[in-house]
């Protein structure tokens, strides 16, 4: 199962999910097409970031890891913090898939994409209800985690919007500088 695009908070509550794309659709494409990206780009007076892995393109509101960052450098410390916070989404996926085992990759949803998307959304709603009610969910075993880990390579068109990438680098560098000042 590939939910494809999900946002969660620190309590593992799912605050946004898009299950309308097939499992082979790349993260970068979904990000380009999603409504939340357009909403974030409309912010003028607020600084808001989403954290993504290297499957996403660096953009002004999508912070990704710094490639080849040296450990204990400002960029290395940023990567450490970014990865640590990003683990929340991995835990959310683990609890969600542990609770609703039909979502595991080994148990593919053999339905048309529209029906599979509705099942995924229903599982996300039920997941949030369980979190709010304080109902513990089983987490995945290490073996299940391993079978679920398939990462896509970054996908961008050749043009890849140089201006958007530069704006993303400026935003990330500004964030790194702020983190260093507040160390």
Strands 5-8 and 50-51, how do they pair? unpaired
Q: Residue 154: which of 55, 23, 63, 27 has the closest Cα?
A: 55
How far is residue 83's CA from residue 86's CA, in Å, rounded to a whole number? 5
CA–CA dist 30, 6 (Å, integer): 11
Q: What is the pTM of this model?
A: 0.78
Neighbours of 116 (CB within 10 A): 20
- Rounded to an integer, what distance in angstroms lies between the CA atom of residue 88 and that of residue 3? 15
Quickly tell me which residue has 């605050």 as its tokens: 15
Q: List per-residue pLDDT tens for the chain, 183 residues long.
A: 455 678 999 999 999 998 887 666 777 777 778 888 888 877 777 888 889 888 888 988 899 999 999 999 999 999 999 999 999 998 998 899 999 988 887 777 788 888 888 999 999 999 999 999 999 887 777 777 666 655 444 444 434 578 888 999 999 999 999 999 998
Half-sphere exposure of 118 toward its Cβ, with a 13 Å CA cutoff?
Answer: 5
> Are 43 and 55 a contacting pair, CB within 8 Å?
no
Structural contact between residues 7 and 16, judged by C-beta atoms closer than 8 angstroms: yes
- β-pair partners for 177: none
Tokens of 15: 């605050």
């Amino acid at each position: 199962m590939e939910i494809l695009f999900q946002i969660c908070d620190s309590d593992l509550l799912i605050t946004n999910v898009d299950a309308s794309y097939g499992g082979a659709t790349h993260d970068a494409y979904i990000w380009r097409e999603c409504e939340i990206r357009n909403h974030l780009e409309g912010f003028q007076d607020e600084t808001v970031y989403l954290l993504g892995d290297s499957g996403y393109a660096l953009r002004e509101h999508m912070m990704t890891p710094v490639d080849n960052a040296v450990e204990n450098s400002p960029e290395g410390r940023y990567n450490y913090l970014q990865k640590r916070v990003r683990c929340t989404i991995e835990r959310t996926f683990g609890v969600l898939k542990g609770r609703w085992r039909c979502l595991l990759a080994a148990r593919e949803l053999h339905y048309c994409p529209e029906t599979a998307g509705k099942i995924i959304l229903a599982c996300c709603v039920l997941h949030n209800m369980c979190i709010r009610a304080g109902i513990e969910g089983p987490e995945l075993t290490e073996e299940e985690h391993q079978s679920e880990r398939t990462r896509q390579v970054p996908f961008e068109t050749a043009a890849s919007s140089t201006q958007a990438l530069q704006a993303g680098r400026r935003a990330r560098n500004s964030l790194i500088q702020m983190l260093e000042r507040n160390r």
